[in-house]
Amino acid sequence: MRTALMRITARLTALTLLSGAALVGAGVLPASAATGTVDTDSNTGVAIRSGNATSFGTVGNQPDGPVEIDCQIYGEPVTGKFGRSLIWDHIPGKGFITDAYVNTGSSGLVAPLCTSNPRADKAIAWYAARSGSTAYQGLCEMAAENSYGKTGIWASAIADWNDAVARGAAHRGDLNPPKGALVFWNISAYGHVGVAKGDGTFWATSVSNAIGTRALPYFNNYLGWAWPNF
């Protein structure tokens, strides 16, 4: 009897281990690096920059042809051979290139999201340098655009949000926006907007009547977030 019980126990243990292995095998694997093909028609290659916007300095040139992409991040929109794209590809050991000249077989992300977002860092630093300022009261959209080195893109925060909704790029109600994402509220006819810090907090105007930072959602009628389309 004891021998039989030992055999049954051993068999059940083996089945448990096999089931566990099957569950691990069925799990979602993490995203991996990808490849693409740079194609500029003119065969001049595309500028490699130190950040995900054309305002960052050029650190090299990626020639036309195959390219390895270890991660991707959203940044300044660029129009190129493959259309208008907010995506920037990070080339290992080099820097960022716009995805607008890279054929990856997709208009979306094909590699993991980069943990580094130089453009977002600059936007957050812009707000931090103006903490407590009342200069942008009633001008939340202008503040958000100025933090990214832009101006005059949208007439109001709600117009900016409606654009994200129309593009299918709005993350409605999500209280975990990534660093650099725009966060929106419907607190007036013009709406309200700020910039997420990536840790559940944000920078915006009208925080105690000045530029300040708080934890989300803070204001009433939180709408969600979207990557800047400028």
Do 125 and 54 reside in the same domain of the chain? Answer: no
Which residues constitute the domain of residue 190? 118-226
Q: Return the closest-CA partner of residue 198 out of 174, 222, 219.
A: 174
Do 167 and 97 reside in the same domain of the chain? Answer: no
**pTM given for the model:** 0.85
Do 78 and 130 reside in the same domain of the chain? Answer: no
**Per-residue pLDDT for the chain (230 aa), expressed as one digit of tens each?**
333 333 333 333 333 333 333 322 222 323 589 999 999 999 999 999 999 999 999 999 999 999 999 999 999 999 999 999 999 999 999 999 999 999 999 999 999 999 999 999 999 999 999 999 999 999 999 999 999 999 999 999 999 999 999 999 999 999 999 999 999 999 999 999 999 999 999 999 999 999 999 999 999 999 999 999 99
| Count of the separate structural domains present in the chain | 2
14 domain-assigned: no
Do 175 and 219 reside in the same domain of the chain? Answer: yes
CATH assignment of the domain containing 86: 2.30.30
166 domain-assigned: yes
Do 128 and 213 reside in the same domain of the chain? Answer: yes
Do 125 and 217 reside in the same domain of the chain? Answer: yes
d(CA 69, CA 63): 14
Q: Return the closest-CA partner of residue 143 out of 97, 182, 89.
A: 182
Do 123 and 222 reside in the same domain of the chain? Answer: yes
